C-alpha cells in the first residue's frame, strides 16, 4: 500500500510516517517508480511507534525496543542486555513519574472545577 493508504488506515499523518522512515523505525519497500510500498504489518508497526511516542518514549529507545515487539501489546527480549534493561527501567520510571504528575494535575483541576461550580450554585 502507498503512504496515503497507510496514513488513512492508521490516522498518522504522512509527514510522521516519513519521519518514522527517516529514523529507521519503519522501513517500507520501494516500487520501481520510487514510491514507498508498505505491507500489512506496517499498519501495526506504525501504530506501535505512535503509541510508544505518545507514551513519552524517546525515538532512540523505541528503535531498540521495536525489534523485540512480537505483537501489538507484547514485548519479548531474548537475552536482553543489562544496558537494554536499564534503559527500559528508566523509561518505565520516567513514565510513572509523568503519570503521577498528570494525575495530581487532573485532580487539582477537578477540585477547582468542583469548588467554582459549588460557589456558583450557592450564589
Cα separation, 67 vs 52, in Å, equals 13
Query: Where do the structural domains in the chain lie, given as residue ranges?
Result: 3-122
The residue ranking higher by pLDDT, 92 or 75, is: 92
21-63: pLDDT as tens digits: 999 999 999 989 988 899 999 999 999 899 888 888 888 888 8
CATH number for 3-122 (one of 1.10.1660.10, 2.60.40.10, 2.20.28.10, 1.10.3720.10): it is 1.10.1660.10
HSE-up of 79 (CA within 13 Å, CB side)?
A: 1
pLDDT in tens, 107-116: 999 999 999 9
Q: What's the rounded Cα separation, in Å, for the pair 9 and 1?
A: 10
| pLDDT score, position 66 | 81
Regarding pTM above 0.85, the answer is no
Helix-strand-coil split of the chain, %, nearest 5: 65, 5, 25
- Of residues 20 and 68, more confidence is placed in 20
Amino acid at each position: 500500500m502507498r503512504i496515503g493508504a497507510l496514513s488513512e488506515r492508521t490516522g498518522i499523518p504522512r509527514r510522521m510516517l516519513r519521519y518514522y522512515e527517516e529514523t529507521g523505525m519503519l522501513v517500507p519497500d520501494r516500487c520501481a517508480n520510487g514510491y514507498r510500498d508498505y505491507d500489512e504489518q506496517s499498519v501495526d508497526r506504525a501504530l506501535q511507534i505512535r503509541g510508544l511516542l505518545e507514551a513519552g518514549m524517546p525515538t532512540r529507545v523505541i528503535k531498540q525496543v521495536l525489534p523485540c515487539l512480537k505483537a501489538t501489546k507484547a514485548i519479548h527480549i531474548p537475552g536482553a542486555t543489562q544496558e537494554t534493561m536499564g534503559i527500559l527501567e528508566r523509561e518505565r520510571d520516567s513514565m510513572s513519574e509523568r503519570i503521577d504528575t498528570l494525575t495530581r494535575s487532573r485532580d487539582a483541576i477537578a477540585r477547582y472545577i468542583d469548588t467554582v461550580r459549588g460557589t456558583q450554585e450557592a450564589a
